[in-house]
Amino acid sequence: MINGLRTSAVESAIALADIYHGRGTTYLHTDNPLSSNRTVSPAANPTGAVVPAISLATTFKQSTPGEPTARDDPNSFGMGYEYSRTGNPTRGVFERAVAAAEKAEYCVAFSSGSAATSAVIHLLSPGERVLSIDDVYGGTQRYFRRIVNPRMGIDVDFVDFSDNSAVLSKILNAEGKTKLLWLETPTNPLLKVTD
For 125-148, the pLDDT digits (tens) are 999 999 999 999 999 999 999 999
CA 80 to chain centre: 20
The helix (run of H) or strand (run of E) holding residue 94 is helix 89-101
- State the pLDDT at residue 158: 96
Long-range contacts of 177-180 (CB under 8 A, 24+ apart): 177/127, 177/128, 177/129, 178/128, 178/129, 178/130, 178/131, 179/124, 179/128, 179/129, 179/130, 180/120, 180/121, 180/123, 180/124, 180/128, 180/129, 180/130, 180/131
Rg (CA), the chain: 22
Report the DSSP beta bridge partners of residue 182: 132
- State the pLDDT at residue 45: 59
- State the pLDDT at residue 167: 93
Residues (pLDDT < 50) of the chain are 1-15, 17-18, 30-40
- State the pLDDT at residue 128: 97
Task: Name the strands in the sheet holding 155-159, side by side, starting at the edge strand that comes first in the sequence.
Answer: 155-159, 129-133, 178-182
Q: 36 with 105: CB under 8 angstroms?
A: yes
pTM above 0.75, yes or no: no
- State the pLDDT at residue 188: 87
- State the pLDDT at residue 41: 52
- State the pLDDT at residue 28: 55
- State the pLDDT at residue 54: 86
- State the pLDDT at residue 119: 95
Burial tier of 40 (Cβ tally within 10 Å: 0-12, 13-18, 19+): middle
- State the pLDDT at residue 24: 54
